[in-house]
Structure 1
């Protein structure tokens, strides 16, 4: 009888220990969350693109996004009608952002987000200029440029993360540098609780530029820190299917935070019948956030 009691006690201790380990493991798994992020210059809707005009590629582009199902996606060059087309196709997504010429006017640098995965706590759009709170063109820029940002909460683990999406000018060198400096100043003023930060978009500069050199003093290039990389080095294809794609001008940059690990980085060069869905390839990353 004494031996039976001892055996029962030992089995109880083993069961309790295993159960506690399982609970601990569950807590660990819940504390980490995978976040899929994409930046995509979708090319504005302009009739002069002919066979590459938006009407011929919108379904392809929308299905591409649906297939990769990013939790957060920054778009650039999206005109109001393109925003509506994407909203209709991406059923689980909501958006933040306004057009660069005002409410629902001009090109958006909007952020789409999967409302089943994340929620927005704070959001706004500002202009990259000396007067960021009003519709304006800054420095030597050819066009008004904007940045849309949001503070997101990942529903799975309640981790908060700031996301900034922009499209820097394609002409003004000072406008590019000053615009990014303005974004970094905005991050500093907003991120008082030191949450992880993503800055993404079409920066219109290549990796050896002064802008990227400066930016990497404060942020990490997701490509350089990814455990797995895939696809083309270049991101701007110009709809030229038979030419090599070498210009890398689209980025997903990350704050130097121990809470962000880059599992995968990819440049997605999908095509159908020798046609691309945009004149830029989307950049896609999978992050481990904790």
Structure 2
């Protein structure tokens, strides 16, 4: 069977904290002349701009990158709807509102099925972990491409509770192992990781998870996997000359030259057992000389072969 190439992009969009009534059409109408120099380069660079200002640039960059599957974090439903409007009818989306479990749709690339679980001790119920800053979920989507199956897990770990992050990583790793065993296809996992990296990559042992979840997603006895199953950081296994762009994926809305908040917290992982290859990696730019941060995170794009 021929080798399949797949490009994946993950981006924490920064939720719409300054909502207004400006339509997508109005945002487009208010764009500056394409040939006109900005009055001042990097003006207001340290100020978070409303989503209505950011969304056109977000959509344009994503379309330029050309990934058929894009994973978002922090995106509110209205933000995803805006992007769907900008991308056009060929695109759609899958996922739920993390706070209420409502909203659903279909994806852009041969989506076969999907589901969501909450990253708590009651993962099948809409729930928030005690001490966590927000409701946290993981969306699992099964795709086919070139008659091959792969499973994508998308999540956003909590920024306040280390206990929640450890539990979340343990749940996702357990589910990833199940998907790897039952599909025998690649299992990439994407998202903003505020501290669960060591459990994902096998440095730390997982914590105890919900018994019902463990029973439902137990690896079948006829599909065993190696005991050292883990997730691999795609940046770390790509040939060095194929790693491009930034190291830090989180910048905040910082002044030029101030790197205090910088860090690498946005990742694309892949399950260790399956034959796949990561051939290129780029942490892109989210700030251009018009001074508008598209997000406080940078998009990460990875090319895979399997």
| TM value normalised by structure 2 | 0.75
Name the structure where helix makes up a greater proportion of residues.
1
Contact 1:76/1:166 (8 A) holds in 2: yes
Contact 2:177/2:229 (8 A) holds in 1: no
Q: Tell me whether 1:282 sits opposite 2:299 in the alignment.
A: yes
Partner of 1:66: 63
Contact 1:52/1:239 (8 A) holds in 2: no
Q: CA deviation at 1:43?
A: 0.3
Q: Tell me whether 1:260 sits opposite 2:276 in the alignment.
A: yes
Cα separation, partners in 2 of 1:283 and 1:38, compared to 1, 3 Å: same
Could you give the per-residue CA deviations for residues 7-54 of structure 1, whole angstroms, max 9, x where no partner exists? xxxxxxxxxxxxxxxxxxxxx6xx111100011000000129965121
Partner of 2:265: 249
CA root-mean-square deviation: 2.5
Q: CA deviation at 1:66?
A: 0.6
Partner of 1:96: 94
What's the secondary structure of 1:62's corresponding residue? helix
Alignment of 1:21-100 (within 5 A): 31-47=2-18, 51-91=48-88, 92-100=90-98
Cα separation, partners in 2 of 1:249 and 1:111, compared to 1, 3 Å: farther
Partner of 1:14: none
Partner of 2:185: 195
Contact 2:286/2:296 (8 A) holds in 1: no
Task: Report the Cα distance in structure 2 between the residues aligned to 1:276 and 1:225, rounded to whole angstroms.
Answer: 30
Partner of 1:138: 129
Cα separation, partners in 2 of 1:206 and 1:151, compared to 1, 3 Å: closer
Cα separation, partners in 2 of 1:222 and 1:111, compared to 1, 3 Å: farther
Cα separation, partners in 2 of 1:229 and 1:50, compared to 1, 3 Å: closer
Contact 1:124/1:150 (8 A) holds in 2: yes
Q: CA deviation at 1:150?
A: 0.5
Q: CA deviation at 1:141?
A: 1.7
Could you give the per-residue CA deviations for residues 68-122 of structure 1, whole angstroms, max 9, x where no partner exists? 01121110111121011011112222211001112447xxxx9995x3xx31112
Task: Report the Cα distance in structure 2 between the residues aligned to 1:53 and 1:259, rounded to whole angstroms.
Answer: 42
Name the structure where strand makes up a greater proportion of residues.
1
Q: Tell me whether 1:159 sits opposite 2:148 in the alignment.
A: yes
The answer for unaligned runs of 5 or more in structure 2 is 20-45, 207-227
- Aligned residue pairs total 250
Q: Find runs of 4+ consecutive structure 1 residues off by over 4 angstroms.
A: 48-51, 110-113, 209-212
Partner of 1:218: 230
Partner of 2:43: none
Higher alpha-carbon deviation: 133-142 or 75-84: 133-142
Higher alpha-carbon deviation: 182-191 or 165-174: 182-191
Task: Report the Cα distance in structure 1 between the residues aligned to 2:131 and 2:185, rounded to whole angstroms.
Answer: 33
What's the secondary structure of 1:47's corresponding residue? coil
Contact 1:130/1:139 (8 A) holds in 2: no
Task: Report the Cα distance in structure 1 between the residues aligned to 2:134 and 2:149, rounded to whole angstroms.
Answer: 33
Of structures 1 and 2, the one scoring higher in RCO (CA 8 A, sep 6+) is 2
The answer for unaligned runs of 5 or more in structure 1 is 1-27
Task: Report the Cα distance in structure 1 between the residues aligned to 2:232 and 2:64, rounded to whole angstroms.
Answer: 27
